[in-house]
């Protein structure tokens, strides 16, 4: 029993490492997708509303949008 248990440890560690790598990979992919989404939204905002400056306050942005509507 003891010998088999010792032999199984590397396999268990290997599976655990694979699961951890898969999880890290998924997190990285989700992070990249989130960044791409934010960049896409920023580009869309710039394309749709060229008059709006980056440094304007959100309240002023909302006021402009309300005025346009």
Task: Tell me the average pLDDT across 17-23.
Answer: 91
The answer on pLDDT for 19 being more than 70 is yes
| Residue showing tokens 């898969």 | 22
- Largest Cα span, the chain: 77
The answer on pLDDT for 55 being more than 60 is no
| Residue with the larger pLDDT of the pair 39 and 63 | 39
Counting beta carbons within 10 angstroms of the beta carbon of residue 33, is it exposed (0 to 12), middle (13 to 18) or buried (19 or more)?
exposed
Alpha helices (H) along the chain: 2-48, 58-68
Task: Tell me the average pLDDT across 25-44.
Answer: 90
pLDDT of residue 69: 72
Q: How many CA within 13 A on the CB side of residue 45? A: 12
């Amino acid at each position: 029993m003891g010998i088999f248990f010792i032999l199984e440890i590397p396999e268990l560690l290997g599976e655990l490492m694979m699961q951890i790598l898969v999880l890290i990979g998924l997190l990285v992919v989700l992070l990249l997708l989130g960044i791409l989404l934010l960049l896409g939204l920023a580009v869309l905002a710039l394309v749709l509303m060229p008059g709006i400056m980056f440094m304007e306050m959100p309240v002023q942005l909302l006021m402009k949008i309300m005025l346009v509507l």
